[in-house]
Amino acid sequence: MTTDAAVAREWLESWTDVPGLEGLVVKNMNQPYRPAARAWTKIRRRDTTEAIIGAITGTLTRPQLLILGRHDETGRLRTVGRTVALRPDAARQVAEHLAAAGPGHPWEGVRFAAAWGSRDVLDAVLVRPELVAEISADRAVDRGGAFRHPLRFKRLRHDVEARDVAGFGQGPATAVG
């Protein structure tokens, strides 16, 4: 426990390199834990990384969310997460480069959960899995290698090809470029 912001910042940067540690909890010094109460604040470390856009919600001209993937060790495109709603400027940027998926998309017949652990399904539109998105992600990754919390779209990475994106299950890693 510390009251020194510099020490807390150092902990956030160094301790979250350990698998399973997502961030810090901020609370008053004498504040006890209360089950089912949201009295404490969790600060998660966020890093940037890349993922392949494999599907969207909305339309090709007005995408709302991006459904992202990475290739596993066999080369199969696996879902790693989805973004929060795109800002209008980001949606326009992405729409300019989207193309409808042809037959043989690796996610044909796949249903995407609306939220982690949810039974609700997203109405997804498959796209050609060629565009690479730079995303911001926290450190929470499930055992299957997917991000547990929604991702934040940062920009398209025209300088990175889909085949060069980090492999499935590698979690967040600081982006280069």
- Whether residue 105 is found in the same domain as residue 30: no
- Whether residue 119 is found in the same domain as residue 94: yes
Q: What is the pLDDT of residue 137?
A: 83
- Whether residue 60 is found in the same domain as residue 106: yes
Q: What is the pLDDT of residue 175?
A: 40
Q: What is the pLDDT of residue 3?
A: 80
34: domain range? 5-44
Reference 141, options 169, 173, 175; nearest CA is 169
Residue ranges for the chain with pLDDT beneath 70: 12, 15-24, 43-46, 115-117, 139-141, 144, 168-177
Residue 173 resides in a domain: no
Q: What is the pLDDT of residue 177?
A: 38
**Cβ burial 124-156 (10 Å sphere, 16+ → b, else e):** bbbbbbebbbbbbbbbbbeeebbbebbbbbbeb
The Cα diameter of the chain in Å comes to 60
Q: What is the pLDDT of residue 169?
A: 62
Q: What are phi and psi of 44, to 5 degrees?
A: -95, 145
Q: What is the pLDDT of residue 176?
A: 38
